[in-house]
Structures are given as structure tokens and as C-alpha cells.
């Protein structure tokens, strides 16, 4: 392979890993972050970031032709599994607030339409990312 292709594949995979870490860290921190002057801005950001994370999750496969590099980069998935319980805690808190208590995330009124879908989108994203990480881990092990 040419150097440009190797560089592009490796660079894209590293950016994908960084975005996955950003997503998991922000989702884990949503539980701790109080509603600021903008209200539920961080929740809207996480909702908008989820589709991009789906694409980045599939971009992790770009280093597959380079088995040695792919084998080394798979270890980057381990801390994401450690962050998973904290991310699920944030999703659970929003589920309790919006879906069980029928309250808005940051205000006392009824929840907006997008808030009703927030938990489902985050859960689908977490399941998809975990599935791809396990798949990538197993493909290198075989």
C-alpha cells in the first residue's frame, strides 16, 4: 500500500477513537453536569452527536488491512467499557426524569418531543458501539 493510504487509514481511525472517547466521556458527565443558563444544551449536543458516533464506530475498521496496527489499536476500547456504566447511569437518570416522571430534563414542565427520543438514541448508540468494539476485538483474536 502506498504511504498516503496508510496515513489516511491510520489518521481516520485515530480520529474515530478520539470521537468515541469524547462521546463516552461527555455522556458519562451529563449526570454530573447541572443545567446551566442554556438549560438542556448538553443533552441536545449529545443527541446531535450520536449519528456521527455511528459513523465513527464503523471507521474503526479502517485499520483492518494492517493486522499489527489493528491489534495494537484494539486496546483503546478497554477504557470505553470501563466508562460504560457511568454513561448508562446518565441515560438512566434522563429515562427516569423524562419517561417515568414525565418531566422535562431541566425544567419543571412537560418534556419536549426530542427529549422523549433521547434515551432511545443514546441506548442504540451505546449498543452499536459496544457491538462493533467486541466484533473488532474478536476479529483480531481469530
Full-model pTM: 0.84
- The set of long-range contacts for 112-121, using a CB threshold of 8 Å and a minimum separation of 24, is 114/44, 114/47, 115/40, 115/43, 117/47, 118/43, 118/46, 118/47, 118/94, 119/91, 119/94, 119/95, 121/47, 121/50
Distance, first Cα to last Cα, the chain: 23
In the chain, where are the structural domains located? 3-141
Q: Which residues pair with 118 in a beta bridge?
A: none
Q: Report residue 38's pLDDT band, with 50, 70 and 90 as the boundaries.
A: low
Residue 15 has pLDDT above 70, yes or no: yes
- Give residue-wise pLDDT tens across range 72-97: 777 778 888 899 999 999 999 989 88
Amino acid at each position: 500500500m502506498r504511504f498516503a493510504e496508510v496515513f489516511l487509514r491510520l489518521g481516520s481511525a485515530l480520529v474515530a477513537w478520539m470521537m468515541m472517547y469524547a462521546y463516552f466521556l461527555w455522556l458519562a458527565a451529563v449526570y454530573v453536569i447541572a443545567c446551566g443558563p442554556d438549560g438542556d444544551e448538553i443533552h441536545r449536543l449529545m443527541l446531535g452527536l450520536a449519528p456521527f458516533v455511528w459513523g465513527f464506530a464503523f471507521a474503526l475498521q479502517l485499520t483492518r488491512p494492517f493486522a499489527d496496527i489493528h491489534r495494537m489499536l484494539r486496546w483503546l476500547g478497554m477504557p470505553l467499557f470501563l466508562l460504560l456504566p457511568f454513561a448508562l447511569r446518565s441515560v438512566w437518570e434522563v429515562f427516569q426524569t423524562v419517561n417515568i416522571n414525565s418531566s422535562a430534563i431541566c425544567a419543571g414542565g412537560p418534556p419536549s418531543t426530542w427529549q422523549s427520543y433521547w434515551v432511545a438514541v443514546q441506548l442504540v448508540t451505546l449498543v452499536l458501539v459496544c457491538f462493533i468494539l467486541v466484533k473488532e476485538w474478536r476479529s483480531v483474536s481469530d
